[in-house]
Chains A and B, each alone.
Chain A
Amino acid sequence: MESKLIYHKRNFKKNLPGYLLLAPATIAVLALSIYPMIRGIFLSFMNYNLVRARGDSFQTFAGLENYKKIFVNEIFLKSIGNTIKWTLVNLIVQLVVAMLLALALNQKLRGRAAFRILTLVPWAVPPYIAVMTFTFLYSAQVGILNILAVRLGVVAEAVSWLGNKGSAFWCIVALSVWKGMPFQMVFILTALQGIPGEVYESAKIDGGSAWQIFWKVTLPIIKEPLMLTTVLNVIGILSSFYPWMMTEGGPLYSTETIYTFAYRQAFVNHDFGTASASAVLLFIFTTILTWIYLRIIREKN
């Protein structure tokens, strides 16, 4: 259909206002970020161990040396598995819980506003404070979790949940889900709110069950915002700092992710070469995921 508003393809002059509108944001983001990023990628190919700043090899070209180094580093290899586990668990749990909560909060209920605000509270608690509070709840000495677990007979005597290899990971996941879920929920809720009531009415008249309505009506409508928020969420989860804040990747690297590994290399070992190399790998990993998402969206259109 011809429209007054649709401008002709590749007509630069007619689209000029568009370029002008786009320019400030694009320039602001790229001008600030391009140099640091390129420098980061560049450093991954350099000998850049800061504590060897006086050595001869400092700031010389290293080829793929840094990449080779991290691939024989057992901590890094361990962190790959942890990262995948961390991302999958976080993503799935956050998505499912956020979806259920958004669906529930989309119903016409008494006290809906209060429910909505209260479930957003974790988002408002600053990360550092959230970490301190959860650490306290898990405490082997005075933690609620231990008091309950002992009383219910799950464990015989108080256990250090954060100090043991098996449980530490899940403790941090719980924190991360608690903190990250509210935003997913609001975003999905916004999408749900955008669905006109009539759509449901007609679906109900057709006699679908709630489950069917969700799969056949709701999900297809909110699919696109859902996928977008998933991708942006994955980026956030991959660069989550909680494992470092809570246990510094420990005990015995059982909560080390690629992100905390990069941090460790940079600020504990002062080796920005290998830190950048692991950052670049994480970057490539994220890019591929995003690219897959864009492919799916484009195919659909």
Chain B
Amino acid sequence: MKKRIMAIALAVTVVISMAGCASQSGETKTNANENSGGEEGSGETSENTDVAGADAAGAVQEGGEITMLVLNGLVSDEEQGIAFKNVIDQYEKSHPGVKVTLQAASAADIKQSFQTAALAGVGADIVMADNSGHAIDMAAMGLLYPLTEITTEEELLSLYQPGPLNSGKFRGEYYSVPWYMDCCGFYYNKTHLEDAGLEVPTNWEELSNALTVLKSKGYGGIITYDSAYAFYPFFYQNGCQVIDTSGEIPKVVIDNEEGKEAWNYICNIIENGGMVESFKEANNWSKVYESFANGEATFLLGGDWCAGAIDSLAPDLDYGITVMVEGKAPATVLGGFTWNINANCKNPELAFDLIQYINSADGDEVLFAEGKSSARKDFDYAKTLEGKEKLEILTTQFPYTMPRPAIINEQAIDELITNAIMTVVYGEATSDEALSSLAQKINENIQQNYQ
């Protein structure tokens, strides 16, 4: 008897699932059909680009549907999610006939999710991308819509900070509209410094000295993410671009005079035990805060987001934030997110209009809710940093904030640099050996990815 019931139950589930299939596939049919028109659409629009300005308004008035793939937090019951929904609702209200559908993914998945869909000829019309080279990869794959078809370089340059804008520049064309940005700053443990009788280091030399003194007092040195991120500023400050992406084919300049100097400085810190043990395993940011909050490290190199995390882990920790230690010129490295339009999008003008709206003062409430800084030049930082005045000093660096090299497969390049640093950490290579082998490996990588 029991078996009969089981068999029947199974049969019922199968039937239900079949019914489920039928109804659900009905729903999606319409969606897919709309999307499949996308490829032709983009072809058409690119033809009448010269009248883009006038046309854009027309296209917007006609209405249409836009799908956006954003980070999870923007589609949530949290403050920023509510704010984002508000902004979208306002846009829909002021643009009758326009319908915006939100999709969400985690920061770790968003690129792969979009990429898979776009390669299959569909995908969201607008996608958020990390400005650490994600847009470059997608542009190289032909998945992004070039922005100068809709707007002009001058307009983009007049609106946005150069760093984030350049993060989406590939082969002379712009693909990303910057949204929010941050830069790598310098966090220090006040208690440790006072105990060691040290001032906050402001330049390279002071930093090396401070590390030596701290070590002799039994304090740890620097913690940062196990990647090239926090090491770029040393090269940039010394006038080395690491990889020169201005030409048709990128040129490795990490081993030029300035680069060597910066590299040797970094290796010197490592060899003198300036990095804490946790650095070796810091492959997520949580480990970084953990080390700083627990007092293992005295210095932390990271963006504005670290402050909130440290506060929640160790509310009593006495720490300060300042700009990166200075080299020959002020410079630091960029973080943040951009908006990108899918090459399959059938109404890029409308997509761009929506992006402009979110990026304008009308959409700033989203950034205020999260305490993020817009990449717009005329942004009101005071409002977003209310209660986080400590971070205000970092915004002074925005004009000097440079993106990581705008190169295909930036993640692979980053890995090569990190591995070169690790070989020094493990004592497997001297700084010179590591640098020459690194330069060679980056060159090989570039050769593979560029004609």
The answer on a CB contact under 8 Å between B426 and A165 is yes
Residues of chain A lying within 8 A (CB to CB) of residue B411: 268
The answer on a CB contact under 8 Å between B451 and A55 is yes
The answer on a CB contact under 8 Å between A53 and B141 is yes
Residues of chain B lying within 8 A (CB to CB) of residue A235: none
A141 within 8 A of B: yes
Residues of chain B lying within 8 A (CB to CB) of residue A160: 277-278, 280-281
A268 to B413, alpha carbons, bound, how many Å?
Answer: 10
In this complex, what residue of B is CB-closest to A168? B281
The answer on a CB contact under 8 Å between B277 and A54 is no
Chain A: minimal CB distance from B42 (Å): 15
Checking B141, B277, B409 against A140 with a beta-carbon cut-off of 8 angstroms, the contacting residue is B277
Chain A residues 239 to 261 lying within 8 A of chain B, measured CB to CB, are 247-248, 250-252
In this complex, what residue of A is CB-closest to B279? A163
Known: A52-B451, A247-B283, A252-B423. A267 touches B112 (CB 8 A): yes
B370 within 8 A of A: no
Known: A49-B448, A270-B137. A158 touches B281 (CB 8 A): no
Residues of chain B lying within 8 A (CB to CB) of residue A51: 137, 140-141, 408-409, 449
B142 within 8 A of A: yes
A160 to B422, alpha carbons, bound, how many Å?
Answer: 13
In this complex, what residue of A is CB-closest to B293? A141
The answer on a CB contact under 8 Å between B278 and A141 is yes
The answer on a CB contact under 8 Å between B448 and A271 is yes
B296 within 8 A of A: yes
The answer on a CB contact under 8 Å between B277 and A248 is no
The answer on a CB contact under 8 Å between A142 and B290 is yes
Chain A: minimal CB distance from B182 (Å): 24
Chain A: minimal CB distance from B227 (Å): 11
A162 within 8 A of B: yes
Chain B: minimal CB distance from A140 (Å): 5
Number of A residues contacting the other chain (C-beta, 8 Å)? 32
Checking B281, B409, B422, B448 against A162 with a beta-carbon cut-off of 8 angstroms, the contacting residue is B281
A287 to B409, alpha carbons, bound, how many Å?
Answer: 33
Residues of chain B lying within 8 A (CB to CB) of residue A142: 290, 294
Residues of chain A lying within 8 A (CB to CB) of residue B419: 250, 252
B412 within 8 A of A: yes
The answer on a CB contact under 8 Å between A163 and B280 is yes
The answer on a CB contact under 8 Å between A269 and B412 is yes
A164 within 8 A of B: yes
A139 within 8 A of B: yes
Chain B residues 398 to 424 lying within 8 A of chain A, measured CB to CB, are 408-409, 411-412, 415, 419, 422-423
A234 to B423, alpha carbons, bound, how many Å?
Answer: 33
In this complex, what residue of A is CB-closest to B418? A250
A161 to B281, alpha carbons, bound, how many Å?
Answer: 8
Checking A50, A138, A141, A165 against B296 with a beta-carbon cut-off of 8 angstroms, the contacting residue is A141
Residues of chain A lying within 8 A (CB to CB) of residue B132: none
The answer on a CB contact under 8 Å between B422 and A251 is yes
Residues of chain B lying within 8 A (CB to CB) of residue A165: 426
**Chain B, 421-451, contact with A by CB distance < 8 Å: what is the 0/1 string?**
0110010000000000000000000001111
Residues of chain B lying within 8 A (CB to CB) of residue A140: 277-278, 280-281, 296
The answer on a CB contact under 8 Å between B290 and A141 is yes
Chain A: minimal CB distance from B404 (Å): 15
Instruction: List 16 contacting pairs A-B, 8 Å CB cutoff, sorted by A.
Output: A50-B119, A51-B140, A52-B140, A53-B141, A140-B296, A141-B278, A141-B287, A141-B291, A160-B278, A162-B280, A163-B281, A251-B422, A252-B419, A252-B422, A252-B423, A269-B409
